[in-house]
Every structure is written in structure tokens, then in C-alpha cells.
A and B are shown apart, each in its own frame.
Chain A
């Protein structure tokens, strides 16, 4: 059963901490994405990657960075967590091609205190 796996379902961190959110897919997909989901705002794209070591900024990259050293793994990094980064984070992957559907992980609910 193919899947996108996010390492944590719930995470609680302190302001100023460095936070790593990990995402792994087992489908050999080229494209991987990080979205954050907030009530009333829908899903907003933070960063995406279309190849190993390649990354592009999405709509809200400020305060975040990403790493893709291997094709199957895409990490989201909060260099210094702030309370306004409390949110649901969703990872997704897809094959190349616009018609291909995104496959999502189950999300990580991050609380920054």
C-alpha cells in the first residue's frame, strides 16, 4: 500500500526551538510539497521540490526552510519556532505531470508555546 508518512501526528515545541518535520514517500515520486492548513485559510504552499536537492518557495516560505537529500524524504525546518507557526502541516507527493493527483500524509499538528 503506497503511502506518504509524516513522522509525528502531534508535536509541541517551545518558542525559539529548531523544529524538524519529516516526510517520507515510498512511490518514487519526483515532486514533494509542504503545506500548512489553518482554519479559514485553506492549504497554503510553503515549499516544494521537484527533484533531489531542488527546492522552490511556495506562497508563504518565510520562517521555513526545507531539505531534500534523498528522493523519498522531504524535511521542513522551522529555524526558530514562533507561536504564529502553530498549525497543521501536510506533506504531499506526486509524479511529474499536472494531471497526477497529490498523495497526502496524515498531517502533523504543531503547537508552539
Chain B
């Protein structure tokens, strides 16, 4: 069974600084998708970034980028130039690429605080 592990329950970063959130996963599949979701206090889950496992190039979305290490089964999120609005719970998630199910498997989350 696939699992997703986020080993940092809480992180803190100074405004304008860079922070990296860790995520590891376990799967026997070779093709899959990885996601980072953000959940602010409003509770609305928002997709931050996604990565296809067959792509070697790391995904980037503005200040957000990932370090995808397929052999190590690692998928960390880097937030550059942190802003107060980045404060939220961040979830790493995995999804198989094929099959009848499209369910996402989530990690336990990392609560990010941004200090002014």
C-alpha cells in the first residue's frame, strides 16, 4: 500500500526567507503523481503545485518549487520569499496514474508559521 510521510509537524520561517517542507512516500508503482496542497485557516484546500513522476524536471509555480528525487522517493516543497499569506497547513499527497481509482493519499501535514 502506498504511504505518504511528512516528518515535520510544525515549521517556522521569517518573512522573506526560504523554507523547505519535507515529504517522503512509499510506492511500488513507477508512474504516479505528487501534489502539495495548502490549507489556510479558512479550511479551503488549495493546490500549490503538482509533479508527474515520469518528468525529471522539477515543477515550479512562482515562489513555490519542488525537489523531486524519484529514487529516494522524496518530494520536498521550497517556498521562497515567504509571505504572511503563506502561513497554513501544507499537505503532501500521492495518486496512482492509472486504474479505476483516482484517490489521493495524504500525509499528516506540516503547519507553517510565518514570522513578520
Name A's B-contacting residues (CB within 8 A).
31, 33, 35, 40-45, 48, 50, 56, 58, 88, 90, 92, 94, 96-102, 104, 106-107
Q: How many A-B residue pairs have CB under 8 A?
A: 62
Cβ of B30 < 8 Å from any Cβ of A? no
Asked if residues A40 and B108 are in contact (CB atoms below 8 Å), the reply is yes
Give the distance to chain A from B46, nearest Cβ to Cβ, in Å. 8
Give the distance to chain B from A97, nearest Cβ to Cβ, in Å. 7
Q: Which residue of the partner chain B has the closest CB to A102? A: B104
Give the distance to chain B from A92, nearest Cβ to Cβ, in Å. 7
Asked if residues A98 and B45 are in contact (CB atoms below 8 Å), the reply is no
Q: Which residue of the partner chain A has the closest CB to B97? A: A98
Scoring A92, A96, A104 by chain B CB atoms within 10 A of each residue's CB, the highest score goes to A104
Asked if residues A58 and B103 are in contact (CB atoms below 8 Å), the reply is yes
Cβ of B52 < 8 Å from any Cβ of A? yes
Distance in angstroms between the alpha carbons of A24 and B32 in the assembled complex: 28
Asked if residues A99 and B45 are in contact (CB atoms below 8 Å), the reply is no
Asked if residues B9 and A40 are in contact (CB atoms below 8 Å), the reply is yes
Distance in angstroms between the alpha carbons of A96 and B105 in the assembled complex: 16
B-side binding surface: helix, strand, loop or mixed? loop
CB-defined contacts of A31 to chain B, threshold 8 Å:
102
Of B96, B103, B107, the contact of A42 (CB 8 Å cutoff): B107
Asked if residues B44 and A99 are in contact (CB atoms below 8 Å), the reply is no
Distance in angstroms between the alpha carbons of A99 and B104 in the assembled complex: 11
Q: Which residue of the partner chain B has the closest CB to A6? A: B43
Q: Which residue of the partner chain B has the closest CB to A96? A: B102
Q: Known: A41-B108, A42-B109. Is A106-B102 also a contact (CB below 8 A)? A: no
Asked if residues B45 and A90 are in contact (CB atoms below 8 Å), the reply is yes
